[in-house]
Amino acid sequence: MTRPLRDAPQFYLTSPTPCPYLPGREERKVFTHLVGARARDLNDVLSQGGFRRSQSIAYRPACETCRACISVRIVVADFRPSRTFRKILSHNSDLIGEALPPQPRSEHYSLFRGYLDDRHPDGGMATMSALDFAMMVEDTHVETSLIEYRRRSPDSGFTGRGQGDLFAFALTDRLSDGLSMVYSVYDPALEARSLGTFMVLEHVERARKLGLPYVYLGYWVEGSPKMAYKARFLPQERLMPQGWERVG
Protein backbone atom coordinates (compact mmCIF):
# COMPACT_ATOMS: atom_id res chain seq x y z
CA MET A 1 0.00 0.00 0.00
CA THR A 2 1.42 3.38 -0.96
CA ARG A 3 1.68 5.90 1.89
CA PRO A 4 1.02 9.61 1.16
CA LEU A 5 3.89 12.01 1.55
CA ARG A 6 3.99 13.29 5.12
CA ASP A 7 4.24 16.95 4.09
CA ALA A 8 1.77 16.82 1.18
CA PRO A 9 -1.25 19.05 1.93
CA GLN A 10 -4.61 17.39 2.30
CA PHE A 11 -7.60 19.25 0.87
CA TYR A 12 -11.17 19.13 2.16
CA LEU A 13 -14.55 20.37 0.89
CA THR A 14 -17.12 22.10 3.07
CA SER A 15 -20.86 21.50 2.97
CA PRO A 16 -23.04 24.09 1.19
CA THR A 17 -23.94 27.20 3.19
CA PRO A 18 -25.76 30.45 2.24
CA CYS A 19 -23.58 32.76 0.15
CA PRO A 20 -22.62 35.93 2.09
CA TYR A 21 -22.25 37.97 -1.11
CA LEU A 22 -25.05 37.04 -3.52
CA PRO A 23 -28.54 36.37 -2.14
CA GLY A 24 -30.22 33.13 -3.03
CA ARG A 25 -27.00 31.26 -3.71
CA GLU A 26 -24.95 28.74 -1.78
CA GLU A 27 -21.21 28.54 -1.32
CA ARG A 28 -18.75 25.72 -0.78
CA LYS A 29 -15.05 26.02 -0.04
CA VAL A 30 -12.04 23.82 -0.52
CA PHE A 31 -9.47 24.22 2.23
CA THR A 32 -6.23 22.90 3.67
CA HIS A 33 -4.15 23.49 6.78
CA LEU A 34 -1.16 25.84 6.81
CA VAL A 35 1.06 24.32 9.47
CA GLY A 36 4.64 23.20 9.89
CA ALA A 37 7.89 24.25 8.25
CA ARG A 38 6.39 24.42 4.77
CA ALA A 39 3.44 26.65 5.69
CA ARG A 40 4.99 29.82 4.27
CA ASP A 41 5.87 28.25 0.91
CA LEU A 42 2.48 26.59 0.68
CA ASN A 43 0.73 29.88 1.45
CA ASP A 44 2.73 31.51 -1.36
CA VAL A 45 1.75 28.88 -3.93
CA LEU A 46 -1.90 28.77 -2.88
CA SER A 47 -2.24 32.57 -2.79
CA GLN A 48 -0.98 32.72 -6.36
CA GLY A 49 -3.65 30.14 -7.18
CA GLY A 50 -6.51 32.14 -5.69
CA PHE A 51 -6.58 30.91 -2.09
CA ARG A 52 -7.01 33.12 0.96
CA ARG A 53 -5.76 32.62 4.50
CA SER A 54 -7.83 32.55 7.69
CA GLN A 55 -5.76 31.65 10.77
CA SER A 56 -3.99 28.40 9.87
CA ILE A 57 -6.40 27.58 7.03
CA ALA A 58 -6.04 28.35 3.32
CA TYR A 59 -9.32 28.26 1.40
CA ARG A 60 -10.94 29.19 -1.88
CA PRO A 61 -14.52 29.00 -3.21
CA ALA A 62 -15.53 25.73 -4.84
CA CYS A 63 -19.15 26.40 -5.68
CA GLU A 64 -20.76 23.94 -8.08
CA THR A 65 -22.78 26.38 -10.21
CA CYS A 66 -21.12 29.77 -9.59
CA ARG A 67 -17.74 31.33 -10.39
CA ALA A 68 -18.52 34.86 -9.22
CA CYS A 69 -15.67 35.09 -6.68
CA ILE A 70 -12.58 36.32 -8.53
CA SER A 71 -9.19 36.81 -6.89
CA VAL A 72 -7.71 40.25 -7.52
CA ARG A 73 -4.27 41.76 -6.97
CA ILE A 74 -3.08 45.32 -7.62
CA VAL A 75 -0.15 45.77 -10.02
CA VAL A 76 2.08 47.91 -7.82
CA ALA A 77 4.62 49.15 -10.38
CA ASP A 78 1.95 50.62 -12.68
CA PHE A 79 -0.49 51.87 -10.06
CA ARG A 80 -1.04 55.64 -10.03
CA PRO A 81 -3.53 57.14 -7.55
CA SER A 82 -6.54 58.80 -9.14
CA ARG A 83 -7.59 62.30 -8.13
CA THR A 84 -10.00 60.82 -5.57
CA PHE A 85 -7.31 58.56 -4.17
CA ARG A 86 -4.87 61.49 -3.91
CA LYS A 87 -7.46 63.39 -1.86
CA ILE A 88 -7.83 60.44 0.49
CA LEU A 89 -4.06 60.18 0.89
CA SER A 90 -3.86 63.90 1.61
CA HIS A 91 -6.71 63.74 4.11
CA ASN A 92 -4.88 60.99 6.00
CA SER A 93 -1.37 62.39 5.69
CA ASP A 94 -1.37 62.86 9.47
CA LEU A 95 -1.42 59.07 9.92
CA ILE A 96 1.43 56.59 9.77
CA GLY A 97 1.35 52.80 9.58
CA GLU A 98 3.66 50.70 11.75
CA ALA A 99 4.14 46.97 11.15
CA LEU A 100 4.14 45.01 14.42
CA PRO A 101 4.15 41.32 15.34
CA PRO A 102 0.70 39.68 15.33
CA GLN A 103 0.08 40.17 19.03
CA PRO A 104 -3.42 41.57 19.72
CA ARG A 105 -4.20 43.91 22.58
CA SER A 106 -7.44 45.09 24.13
CA GLU A 107 -7.52 48.24 21.96
CA HIS A 108 -7.40 46.09 18.82
CA TYR A 109 -10.39 44.06 19.95
CA SER A 110 -12.30 47.18 20.99
CA LEU A 111 -11.82 48.69 17.54
CA PHE A 112 -12.68 45.35 15.90
CA ARG A 113 -15.84 45.03 18.00
CA GLY A 114 -17.00 48.55 17.17
CA TYR A 115 -16.30 48.00 13.48
CA LEU A 116 -18.30 44.76 13.36
CA ASP A 117 -21.23 46.18 15.32
CA ASP A 118 -21.46 49.15 12.95
CA ARG A 119 -20.64 47.58 9.57
CA HIS A 120 -21.32 43.85 9.82
CA PRO A 121 -23.76 43.24 12.72
CA ASP A 122 -25.22 40.16 11.00
CA GLY A 123 -21.99 38.83 9.50
CA GLY A 124 -20.22 35.60 10.25
CA MET A 125 -17.85 37.31 12.69
CA ALA A 126 -20.53 39.14 14.67
CA THR A 127 -20.33 36.81 17.67
CA MET A 128 -16.54 36.64 17.92
CA SER A 129 -15.23 36.96 21.47
CA ALA A 130 -11.92 38.49 22.52
CA LEU A 131 -10.46 34.97 22.55
CA ASP A 132 -11.74 34.28 19.04
CA PHE A 133 -10.19 37.54 17.86
CA ALA A 134 -6.86 36.72 19.51
CA MET A 135 -6.80 33.37 17.71
CA MET A 136 -7.60 35.08 14.39
CA VAL A 137 -4.53 37.30 14.79
CA GLU A 138 -2.09 34.95 16.50
CA ASP A 139 -2.86 31.62 14.84
CA THR A 140 -0.47 31.90 11.92
CA HIS A 141 2.46 29.84 10.64
CA VAL A 142 3.39 32.36 7.96
CA GLU A 143 5.02 35.80 8.01
CA THR A 144 2.27 38.09 9.30
CA SER A 145 2.17 41.65 10.61
CA LEU A 146 -0.38 43.71 12.47
CA ILE A 147 -0.09 47.13 10.83
CA GLU A 148 -1.36 49.90 13.09
CA TYR A 149 -2.38 53.38 11.97
CA ARG A 150 -1.98 56.27 14.40
CA ARG A 151 -1.24 59.98 14.16
CA ARG A 152 2.24 61.03 13.18
CA SER A 153 4.48 62.50 15.86
CA PRO A 154 7.56 64.73 15.54
CA ASP A 155 9.69 61.57 15.86
CA SER A 156 7.79 59.46 13.32
CA GLY A 157 10.30 60.20 10.57
CA PHE A 158 12.98 58.48 12.67
CA THR A 159 11.03 55.83 14.56
CA GLY A 160 8.34 54.95 12.00
CA ARG A 161 5.83 55.03 14.84
CA GLY A 162 2.70 57.03 15.48
CA GLN A 163 1.14 58.11 18.73
CA GLY A 164 -2.25 58.44 20.37
CA ASP A 165 -5.46 56.63 19.51
CA LEU A 166 -5.59 53.66 17.17
CA PHE A 167 -7.47 54.71 14.02
CA ALA A 168 -7.23 51.45 12.06
CA PHE A 169 -5.24 48.27 11.63
CA ALA A 170 -4.65 45.59 9.02
CA LEU A 171 -3.64 41.96 9.43
CA THR A 172 -1.24 41.46 6.53
CA ASP A 173 0.77 38.52 5.20
CA ARG A 174 4.03 38.98 3.36
CA LEU A 175 4.25 36.69 0.34
CA SER A 176 7.20 36.16 -1.98
CA ASP A 177 5.49 38.34 -4.62
CA GLY A 178 3.38 40.74 -2.59
CA LEU A 179 1.42 41.75 0.46
CA SER A 180 -1.87 39.99 1.18
CA MET A 181 -4.43 41.99 3.15
CA VAL A 182 -6.07 39.31 5.29
CA TYR A 183 -8.40 41.57 7.27
CA SER A 184 -8.74 45.32 7.83
CA VAL A 185 -10.51 47.24 10.60
CA TYR A 186 -11.08 50.95 11.14
CA ASP A 187 -13.02 53.30 13.39
CA PRO A 188 -16.47 53.63 11.76
CA ALA A 189 -16.92 57.05 13.38
CA LEU A 190 -14.19 58.37 11.06
CA GLU A 191 -16.06 57.59 7.83
CA ALA A 192 -15.02 60.89 6.23
CA ARG A 193 -11.41 59.72 6.18
CA SER A 194 -12.18 56.68 3.95
CA LEU A 195 -9.77 54.65 6.06
CA GLY A 196 -10.51 51.36 4.28
CA THR A 197 -9.38 52.86 0.98
CA PHE A 198 -6.47 54.61 2.66
CA MET A 199 -5.13 51.33 4.03
CA VAL A 200 -5.16 49.77 0.57
CA LEU A 201 -3.31 52.77 -0.86
CA GLU A 202 -0.81 52.66 1.98
CA HIS A 203 -0.21 48.96 1.33
CA VAL A 204 0.53 49.72 -2.33
CA GLU A 205 3.25 52.16 -1.27
CA ARG A 206 4.49 49.73 1.37
CA ALA A 207 4.79 46.98 -1.27
CA ARG A 208 6.54 49.40 -3.63
CA LYS A 209 9.17 50.20 -1.01
CA LEU A 210 9.67 46.49 -0.34
CA GLY A 211 10.10 45.76 -4.05
CA LEU A 212 7.03 43.52 -4.15
CA PRO A 213 4.95 43.48 -7.36
CA TYR A 214 1.45 42.89 -5.98
CA VAL A 215 -1.04 43.71 -3.24
CA TYR A 216 -3.57 40.89 -2.90
CA LEU A 217 -7.09 42.09 -2.04
CA GLY A 218 -8.92 38.78 -1.87
CA TYR A 219 -12.12 38.17 -3.82
CA TRP A 220 -14.04 40.60 -5.99
CA VAL A 221 -17.65 39.61 -6.63
CA GLU A 222 -19.44 41.44 -9.42
CA GLY A 223 -22.87 42.47 -8.20
CA SER A 224 -21.89 42.48 -4.52
CA PRO A 225 -21.88 45.96 -2.94
CA LYS A 226 -19.49 44.70 -0.24
CA MET A 227 -16.83 43.92 -2.83
CA ALA A 228 -17.40 46.70 -5.36
CA TYR A 229 -14.58 48.89 -4.00
CA LYS A 230 -11.90 46.44 -5.11
CA ALA A 231 -12.56 47.11 -8.78
CA ARG A 232 -11.43 50.74 -8.31
CA PHE A 233 -7.76 49.88 -7.76
CA LEU A 234 -6.39 49.75 -11.30
CA PRO A 235 -4.42 48.33 -12.93
CA GLN A 236 -5.08 45.00 -11.34
CA GLU A 237 -4.92 41.35 -12.26
CA ARG A 238 -7.87 39.00 -11.91
CA LEU A 239 -7.52 35.24 -11.72
CA MET A 240 -9.53 33.71 -14.55
CA PRO A 241 -9.71 30.03 -15.63
CA GLN A 242 -6.82 30.60 -18.04
CA GLY A 243 -4.67 32.44 -15.46
CA TRP A 244 -4.10 35.97 -14.21
CA GLU A 245 -5.45 38.61 -16.60
CA ARG A 246 -4.68 42.31 -16.41
CA VAL A 247 -7.54 44.83 -16.16
CA GLY A 248 -7.00 48.58 -16.55
Cβ atoms within 10 Å of 63's Cβ, excluding its own: 16
Query: What is the pLDDT, as a whole number, of residue 5?
Result: 45
Q: What is the pLDDT of residue 7?
A: 62
Under-50 pLDDT residues of the chain: 1-5
pTM summary value:
0.92
Confirm if 163 and 153 have CB atoms less than 8 A apart: yes
Instruction: Note the pLDDT of residue 110.
Output: 95
Residue spans of the domains in the chain: they are: 12-69, 73-247
| pLDDT at residue 157 in the model | 80
pLDDT score at 100:
97
CATH of 73-247, picked from 3.20.20.70, 3.40.630.30, 2.70.50.60, 2.40.50.140, is 3.40.630.30
Q: How far is residue 88 from each of residues 69, 92, 119, 192, 230, measured CA to CA in Å?
A: 27, 6, 20, 9, 16
Segment 183-229, tens digit of pLDDT: 999 999 999 999 999 999 999 999 999 999 999 999 999 988 888 99
pLDDT of amino acid 6: 52
Q: Rounded to whole angstroms, how far apart are CA atoms 18 and 66?
A: 13
